[in-house]
Every structure is written in structure tokens, then in C-alpha cells.
Amino acid sequence: MQTTQHKNTLEFAKEQDQKDPLKRFRNQFHIPKDKNGEEQVYLCGNSLGLQPKLTQEYILQELEDWSNLGVEGHTEAKNPWMPYHEFLTDKMAKIVGAKPSEVVMMNTLSVNLHLMMVSFYRPSIGRYKIVIESDAFPSDKYAVESQLKFHGHQPKDALIEWKPREGEELCRYEDLENIMEEQGDDIALLLIGSTNYYTGQSFPLKKITELGHRHGAKVGFDLAHGAGNIQPNLHETGPDFAVWCSYKYLNSGPGSVGGCFVHERHANNKDLKRFTGWWGHNKQTRFNMRHEFDPIPGAEGWQLSNPPILSLAAIRASLAIFDEAGFENIRAKSVKITNYLEYLLEEIEGDQIEIITPKNPEERGCQLSIKVQHANKALFDKLMAAGVIADWREPNVIRVAPAPLYNSFENVYKMVERLKALL
């Protein structure tokens, strides 16, 4: 229905940009230039989002306060560093559909994943297996395998992969149901990427959560490719935990601090096993330095260290933009611009292009993973040389993500024209 209204012309793309209620946001980002001094077509927000112009200002503020105030900046800075992470919470919670008490920005994704597994992977003799999707990000697989071994289990026995069927690219929910029917009593944890990094498939998070819980397992999501891209509605969806990074769709800079969600049902459970540090301790008595560990209720109780303020400042700048734009509007544009990209790719003659990402907008964010038949990385390298920044995954997938805050319909049109010229 929607695609029939599209037109494969530059004029049409420009018209869409004119009508775009978020068009003013592109100018709030630094867009890298190609070798001819023209703005790149930057479709790589699934790997590293672009820098908001506001970021420098926010970071400079903290550098200035540090130079003027030294240690007193902890309490006297314009944005005091002691509670600085709290300034991020409300806006971050909105983007992932959580209650503020369920969210904290801390550490990085893989570290948070381990901390969450310390609390929510508590294997017993009978129930010790972990399910992940088969093309899970390698780091997640390493983390899960190391947790299994840490508890004395062998991945070949205790790690179950939810796989696409022979000859298919995408995972089917029914197959996860079958795994749970057959082995549910043995399964301690379902750890699923909300949106798969390779195929761009977004999974039915609520159904997966209910399925896991029905069988007595804990459920966690890796939102690296979900946060700022799709709306996971974490509170309502109900997983036990979720973790994400902030440098992809959340535009907070390379290696920036990650996010963590712990569902409200665990907020006051002081008996939950966890690894602890002083920043998770009751704020009233933290500086008495003598007390037994008394966790802050909610996600903040999993913090270890006082956080890197310069990184949090970058996140704060980015969240200000998300808040001004409104995540619903961002998602609405994401669906439109991704549909347009899909339409243009499908218009390419012949059968060289296959999009492996689901067609249904509810089963994907803004990333499309494209397989180019008979192509190798040379094609991708030429695309990059032509000013299109995307990324390549072996053996033959190009991932393109028109992140809606700074991409235009014209960008998408240009990308497909340049690809066509190379095919």
C-alpha cells in the first residue's frame, strides 16, 4: 500500500524532506564530508551515531567547572557531578519505555551484561541452560559462554541457539516456543538481542518475555541495536533486565557509557546476588564509608563506580535532542524513511539485491541488511569511495541504517543511485 505512493525521483525525495517535521534536526549534527568536500551519505548510525553540535558545549561546561572548581565540582559544578547520572535518567527512561527507577546509565554494555547475569543467571542443578539467538553479537556469546563456564557448565551442553531454519535468514518465534516446550525446565535464562545486529530483525519482545517467564526462566535483552531505534517499552514488556550502548542510535560518542534496565519487580530485593561497588550504596550513607552494603532501590543499586562525567555529558547532550524531537516522532520518521529505502532498493532491476531484514516495519528498526548476489567487498569499498558510509558483514551483507534524526530522504535516494551505478 505505502510503497505505491513512492516515486523513484530526486524531486520526490526532496519533497519528503520538505514535509519532514524533524528536518531541522539534521543541522544539529556534524555531518562528515567526503573527499570532495561534500556531506557524506552517512548510513552507519547502527555502528557509530554522528556527533550532535550540542555535545561540545556540554562537555566544555564540565571541563570548565573542573578547571575552576577542582574537587568541589562534585557538589558545586553547574551540573554537580555527584548526582550527574541522575540528570540523564528521565529522558533515557522515556526512550526505552521504562520507569526512571528502572534505568541507570553506567559502565559499558558487556560489563552491564555480566553484572546482570551475576544477578539473573542463577543456575541450579536442573535449570542451568541459556538460550541466545544464533547470530547473536559475538561479544554476547563470549559473555554467556564465560558465565556458563564460571558456573561449571560447558557451552556445548548448556548454550542453546535459537536458529533460523535451513535456507532461511530470520528466526521464527515458533521455533523458540518449541525450544521452550522441549527444554523449558532446564532453561535458566533467555538472552535475546532486541534487534539483531546482522539481519536487522526486531523480535517480539513481549511474547518472548511471557514465554520465558511461563517456563520459569529469567529474560534479558541486549538493546544495542534497539535503544533509540525501536521502542521496546521495557516496563510493560516486562523482561528482568536489559542492557544497551549509547554510541549507536543514541549518538553519544565512541565507547560512551551504556544503559541498564532492571525491572521494578526486583527493585527492593536486597537478597538478589550482585557484584557491588560504592556507587550502588545508599546515597545518604555512602560517604560514611563504614556501613555494610545497602543497595539503592532500583537499577541504581547495581552501579559500581563513580561514572565518567565527560561521557555522561555527551549522553546528556544527545538525550536533550531526543527529548526535543520526541521518540514517537523519531520512530514515525524511521518507518517512513526505511520504507522509502526499501522501495528504492526493490526498484533496482534484476535479482542482484535481496533484503534479508523483515518487510514488516514492526519487525525492524531503520536498518536494512542487503545481500548483493555475486558481489564481494570490492563493491562495498567502491560505495564507501563514492561517499556512502555503510558497513559490510562477511560474507556478503551491506548494512544501511538511515538514522532518522540526521538522515534525509535525499540521502537515501543518493545512496541507491550510487549503488545502482556500481552494480
Binding residues for ligand PLP (CB under 6 A): 108-110, 137, 139-140, 193, 197, 222, 224-225, 245, 258
Alpha-carbon distance of 290 to 142, in angstroms, equals: 37
Query: From the CB of 35, what's the least distance to ligand PLP, in Å?
Result: 27
Query: From the CB of 244, what's the least distance to ligand PLP, in Å?
Result: 9
323 close to 94: Cβ distance less than 8 angstroms: yes
Name the residue nearer to ligand PLP (CB basis): 73 or 232. 232
Query: From the CB of 222, what's the least distance to ligand PLP, in Å?
Result: 5
Query: From the CB of 284, what's the least distance to ligand PLP, in Å?
Result: 32
Name the residue nearer to ligand PLP (CB basis): 225 or 364. 225
- Give the residue from 299, 265, 340 showing the smallest Cα distance to 96: 299
Alpha-carbon distance of 347 to 379, in angstroms, equals: 19
Name the residue nearer to ligand PLP (CB basis): 102 or 222. 222
* DSSP bridge partners of 218: 189
Alpha-carbon distance of 390 to 355, in angstroms, equals: 15
- Give the residue from 401, 422, 411, 405 showing the smallest Cα distance to 198: 401
Query: From the CB of 350, what's the least distance to ligand PLP, in Å?
Result: 32
Q: Is 384 exposed, middle or buried (0-12, 13-18, 19+ CB in 10 A)?
A: middle
Query: From the CB of 359, what's the least distance to ligand PLP, in Å?
Result: 22
Rg (CA), the chain: 22
Name the residue nearer to ligand PLP (CB basis): 137 or 406. 137
CB atoms within 10 A of CB 159: 17
Query: From the CB of 107, what's the least distance to ligand PLP, in Å?
Result: 9
- DSSP E strands: which ranges in 87-185? 103-105, 129-133, 159-162
Name the residue nearer to ligand PLP (CB basis): 250 or 337. 250
Name the residue nearer to ligand PLP (CB basis): 222 or 300. 222
Name the residue nearer to ligand PLP (CB basis): 16 or 229. 229
Name the residue nearer to ligand PLP (CB basis): 332 or 356. 356
Specify the 3-state DSSP secondary structure of 237: helix
Name the residue nearer to ligand PLP (CB basis): 55 or 110. 110
Query: From the CB of 289, what's the least distance to ligand PLP, in Å?
Result: 30
Alpha-carbon distance of 123 to 187, in angstroms, equals: 9
Helices (H), 358-408: 377-385
Report how far Cα 64 is from the mean position of its chain's Cα atoms.
31
Query: From the CB of 51, what's the least distance to ligand PLP, in Å?
Result: 18
Report the number of secondary-structure helices (H) and strands (E) in the chain.
14, 13
Alpha-carbon distance of 245 to 223, in angstroms, equals: 8
